[in-house]
């Protein structure tokens, strides 16, 4: 693949406000480099409608439509030329995309890829094909499977009736096919955020045959449906100038990533439905510092959270 001349970043010294409703300006986060690219490949279209979904994905939500294949490939070409080191696909549910397999192959031709999924659509046949594609690439393929409890009684009220067993069936298909999934758990159940809860989760996964279980815990973001389920941000939950610690620009992923959807470019996966967070039409528009004045930025700062695997 030959690098092509690219438009320069636009006014990178001028921080972009993310348009939040915070009463004071947020701190400025420098932009280091475009190391990580996220693609909202199926937009907000999903096969389930989780009660804690911060972007309110579901079968009927096309607020962000699917990205067409050519848009994805154009974005990948620009990302390669800009030196992106790793890629993430999310949605919605990425495996609803009709061209997901060729898009995965195209991405793995130029860098490591992580796919965020609820696992329900993964069959033995699909898992075997994913493993085949991964084995043919010099780069790694990770699949993150979301689940929110160690029992149906914990998970299904959040993710939907009968989803617990269907999610695990998809994850087990991946494991049989040779892909060791990363289980992603949003800590809507407080006990799972503690060491005992994590140990319980790991023990369950080992009982199910996952010999090297992998777990990523995610704090709830008080946006989208989560506002109705668990409540929104308190009046004092926002960042102001001076809140960032030394070196935090290397911890917060939005210092080195951007999110592309069918509707434009955003600083991160969390903010695609937030008023004012859209940074522009192209990656060149978005390669600049940002002012952390969305309330969700508070969660990442307090939790030391990054969306990356």
Q: Is the pLDDT of residue 10 over 60?
A: no
Asked whether residue 309 is domain-assigned, the answer is no
Q: Quick one: average pLDDT of 265-291? A: 96
CATH of the domain at 224: 3.20.20.70
Asked whether residue 209 is domain-assigned, the answer is yes
* Predicted local distance difference test score (pLDDT) of residue 76: 98
Per-residue pLDDT tens over the stretch 197-230? 999 999 999 999 999 999 999 999 999 999 999 9
* Predicted local distance difference test score (pLDDT) of residue 249: 79
Domain count, the chain: 1
* Predicted local distance difference test score (pLDDT) of residue 186: 96
Asked whether residue 163 is domain-assigned, the answer is yes
Asked whether residue 2 is domain-assigned, the answer is no
C-alpha–C-alpha distance, residues 110 and 144, integer Å: 20
* Predicted local distance difference test score (pLDDT) of residue 9: 55
C-alpha–C-alpha distance, residues 56 and 50, integer Å: 8
Q: Quick one: average pLDDT of 277-286? A: 96
* Predicted local distance difference test score (pLDDT) of residue 2: 47
C-alpha–C-alpha distance, residues 281 and 266, integer Å: 9
Q: Is the pLDDT of residue 5 over 60?
A: no
Per-residue pLDDT tens over the stretch 118-153? 999 999 999 999 999 999 999 999 999 999 999 999
Per-residue pLDDT tens over the stretch 37-82? 999 999 999 999 999 999 999 999 999 999 999 999 999 999 999 9
Q: Is the pLDDT of residue 259 over 60?
A: yes
Q: Quick one: average pLDDT of 97-107? A: 98
Asked whether residue 7 is domain-assigned, the answer is no
Q: Is the pLDDT of residue 287 over 70?
A: yes
Strand order in the sheet with 113-117: 214-218, 182-186, 141-146, 113-117, 86-90, 36-40, 257-261, 264-266
Look up the domain containing 203 and give its range. 16-303
């Amino acid at each position: 693949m030959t690098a092509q001349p690219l438009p320069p970043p636009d006014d990178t010294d001028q921080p972009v406000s993310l348009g939040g409703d915070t009463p004071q300006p947020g701190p400025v986060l420098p932009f280091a480099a475009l190391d990580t690219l996220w693609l909202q490949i199926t937009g907000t279209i999903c096969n389930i409608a989780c009660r804690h979904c911060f972007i309110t994905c579901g079968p009927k939500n096309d607020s962000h439509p699917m990205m067409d294949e050519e848009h994805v490939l154009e974005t990948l070409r620009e990302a390669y030329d800009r030196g992106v080191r790793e890629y993430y696909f999310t949605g919605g549910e990425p495996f609803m995309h009709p061209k997901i397999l060729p898009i995965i192959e195209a991405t793995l031709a130029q860098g490591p890829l992580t796919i965020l999924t609820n696992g329900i659509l993964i069959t033995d046949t699909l898992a075997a094909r994913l493993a085949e594609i991964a084995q043919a690439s010099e780069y790694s393929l990770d699949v993150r499977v979301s689940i929110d409890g160690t029992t149906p009684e914990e998970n299904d009220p959040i993710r939907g009736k009968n989803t617990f067993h269907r999610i695990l069936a998809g994850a087990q298909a991946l494991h049989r096919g040779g892909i060791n999934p990363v289980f992603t758990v949003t800590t809507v159940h407080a006990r799972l955020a503690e060491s005992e809860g994590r140990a319980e989760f790991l023990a369950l996964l080992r009982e199910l045959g996952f010999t090297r279980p992998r777990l990523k815990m995610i704090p709830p973001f008080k946006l989208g449906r989560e506002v109705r389920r668990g409540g929104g941000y308190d009046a004092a939950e926002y960042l102001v100038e001076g809140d960032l610690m030394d070196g935090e620009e290397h911890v917060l992923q939005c210092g080195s990533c951007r999110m592309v959807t069918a509707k434009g470019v955003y600083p991160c996966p969390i903010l695609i439905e937030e008023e004012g967070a859209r940074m522009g039409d192209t990656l060149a528009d978005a390669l600049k510092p940002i002012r952390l004045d969305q309330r969700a930025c508070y969660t990442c700062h307090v939790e030391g959270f990054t969306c990356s695997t």
